[in-house]
Structure 1
Amino acid sequence: MSNLGKKLYPSVQEFKEFVKKHPHLIKEVRDGKTTWQDLYEEWYLLGEEDSRWNSDKSEDGTEQETKKNSSSDFLMQIWNNVKNMDPNQIQHHLSSLSEAIGAVQGILSQFQANGRNKSNQNQSQPANPFSFRKD
C-alpha cells in the first residue's frame, strides 16, 4: 500500500511541512504524549503562529535547556522555603514523625511476635487430637 498514486489534501500537505519545521512534535508523538490526529486538529484550529508550538523549546531552541531551567527553579524554590523555616518548628515536626514511626514499628513487631507464637503453637500440637491406636 503506497501513497505514491494518491494526492493528499492541501491542508495535510501543509501540516507535513509544518511538522518538518517543528521536529519536537515528532518526538512528542513517538513518546506517546500525543497523536498525529490531535496535533493536526490543534494545528488546524490554532494555526502555525500559536505559542503552543514553541512551548517545548526554550529561547535557544533546545528542550534540555528548558528542563535544566525548570529543575534549577525547583531547587531554588526548595532552598528558599528551607531558609524561611523555623528550626524549632522543624525539630518539633521531626520528633513527631519519629514518634509515629516508632509506634508503627511497635505495632508491626507485635504482629510479627503474635504470628511466631501462633506458628509455634501449631507445630507443638499434634496434627490429629483424636488419634486412637489399636491395641
Structure 2
Amino acid sequence: MTRKKLHPSVEQFKQFVREHPNLVKLVRAEESTWQELYEEWYLLGGDDPKWEKYKNGKTAEATETKDDVKKWFTQFSGLLKKMDANQMQYHIDNLSQAIGAIQGLLSQFQGSSQQQNDPAQEAPRDPFAFRKD
C-alpha cells in the first residue's frame, strides 16, 4: 500500500503537532478542531506565543488569560454556525419595521410641535418671482 504524499504545509503542521502534544488533548476534549488549529497555525505561524502553552511540560492554565479573546471569538463563531439564517432574517425584518414605526411617530410629533411653536414663520418666498405688467 502506497502512502499519498501530503502537501508540504500539512507535513509541517504534523511536525508542529508532534512538538506541541497538548494540541492533541485540546482536540480530544473537543475544545477545538484540527481544521481550526491548522488555520490558526497557518495564519499565525509556529513561532507565535500562543503555541507556547501546548509544548511539553507546559500547562494550559499557565497562559489561559492570553487566549480569553480567542476563546470568546471561537464560542461566538460556533454560536453563529448554529443559528438559522431564515429566523435571523425574520427577526431583523421585524426590528426594522419597529424602528420605522418609531421614526414615523417621532416625525409626526416633531412636525406638529414645530407648527404649534412657530406659526408666525412662513415658507420662504421665491426671490426670483417677478410679475408682468
Higher RCO (CA-CA < 8 Å; seq separation 6+) = 2
Q: TM-score range by the shorter chain?
A: 0.3 to 0.5
TM-score after normalising by structure 2:
0.42
Give 1 or 2 for the bigger CA radius of gyration: 1
